[in-house]
Amino acid sequence: MTYAMENQSKRRAQALVAVGLLHGAAFWAIASGFAGGVVNIMRDTLVAQQWKDEVKITPIAPLPPPPTDQAPVAKPDTSRILAPRSEITLAPLDPAIGLVPVEIVPVLPSGLPSGLPTDLGTPPAPKPLFTTRSAAPKSAPGSWVSDRDYPTAAIREEREGTTRFRLSVGMDGKVTGCEITASSGSPDLDAATCAKVTARARFIPALGSDGMPMSGSYASAVRWVLPE
């Protein structure tokens, strides 16, 4: 009987030790394995709660609507303002008062020294032009005078001769003057020479050094021979 009670006491003690070991293992597992997660969850909860307490959202009032009815803007007055005309009456000029001539004296600018000469002289003459191309006949000079132009009196008196002449040619190519440089001895032959040549001769005008037409001259002679 005593032995049975001792065995029963030993088994009860072993059961209590086993239960205590299980409780200790469970406590250790909770302390070591789940403590970090629980702490993190609690810390996140505390941080979230802290930010939730600190952040305050203030609503912004909406902007007022723009005014729909504006006061009309006054337009500027553009009407013309006319000043009254003032009549000025001038007294008639006394004929006894004569006009006194005033001498105009040239005034030098203040910036120039007074010793400079005032007479600068006449400007230089323009550079003279020279002929680069002489006047040239447009037609053959032999066609200017023919046998039909022979004076009747010279034919009757059987007079012959050579008349030398110089023509003045304008910028348009027409003859502007005729000068006898050597007479044939018969005034009527010389006069016929100038008359016929002046009426029939046409020229290409001379050219100056600037490339523009200019007046020129042309010299030649007419030999008067009695027609057969």
pLDDT in tens, 1-26: 444 445 556 666 666 766 667 766 66
Residue 113 belongs to some domain of the structure = no
Q: Give a yes or no: residue 41 inside a domain.
A: yes
119 found inside a domain: no
Q: Confidence band (pLDDT; 50, 70, 90) for 43? A: low
pLDDT in tens, 110-122: 555 555 566 666 7
184 with 162: CB under 8 angstroms? yes
pLDDT(160) > 80: yes
pLDDT at 148 over 80: yes
Please report, for the domain that includes residue 170, its CATH number: 3.30.2420
For residue 222, the model assigns a pLDDT of 96
Residue 120 within a domain: no
Rounded Cα distance between 195 and 110, Å, is: 67
pLDDT above 70 (res 97): no
Name the DSSP class of 26.
Answer: H
Are 173 and 218 in contact by the 8 Å Cβ rule? The answer is no
User: Higher-confidence residue: 94 or 169?
Assistant: 169
- For residue 139, the enclosing domain spans 131-224
The pLDDT of 202-224, averaged and rounded, is 93
In a domain, 154, yes or no: yes
Q: Can you say how many angstroms the Cα of residue 167 is from the centroid of all Cα atoms in its chain? A: 52
pLDDT at 48: 47
Residue 20 belongs to a domain: yes
What average pLDDT does the chain have? 75
The pLDDT, as a whole number, for residue 143 is: 93
Q: Is residue 103 part of a domain?
A: no
Domains held by the chain: number: 2
